[in-house]
Structure 1
């Protein structure tokens, strides 16, 4: 008699994979709404910074407007004022300004 009750209770339980469905759904939501867009922005930024060249107007991560004087593999020398040159790590460049804007060192 007890075996029949136990078998009936076990047979009505939902499959085990259904218990993981909400967790899988949350992971998918995080992936498509947070992780994937952030990875795309990071890739776009790395591509943009890899293409920096002499004469570009840039903004550093610290908010300093500068003009690129020389570019190396990992760093760039920028002019932040007339005759004031600073060497910065390329990954700290925040953005490249479009041409035609106000010069950084004027």
Structure 2
């Protein structure tokens, strides 16, 4: 088992520990939490942006982007179809949901 400060996992353990510690400060010291939480978010966002060029799986990410967007559009169109069906059935049967 590697320690949480090890760089073998990209520092995720240390990031998780710091996030939980700052979140716990909400109960212990709200003033510190109010200052540290946006700072931690900025540091984590900066760390994520810095790691982007070293990500090894961009080709598979881009390959799966189009099917993902297509499935999202399919789900939204199914939701629209369901909403229209419920609305038309409600109108045909004369139902009132909110009296």
TM superposition score normalised by structure 2? 0.33
Greater percentage in strand:
1
Considering Cα pairs closer than 8 Å and 6+ residues apart, tell me whether 1 or 2 has the greater RCO.
Answer: 1
Name which one, 1 or 2, has greater alpha-carbon Rg: 1
Greater percentage in helix:
2
TM superposition score normalised by structure 1? 0.31
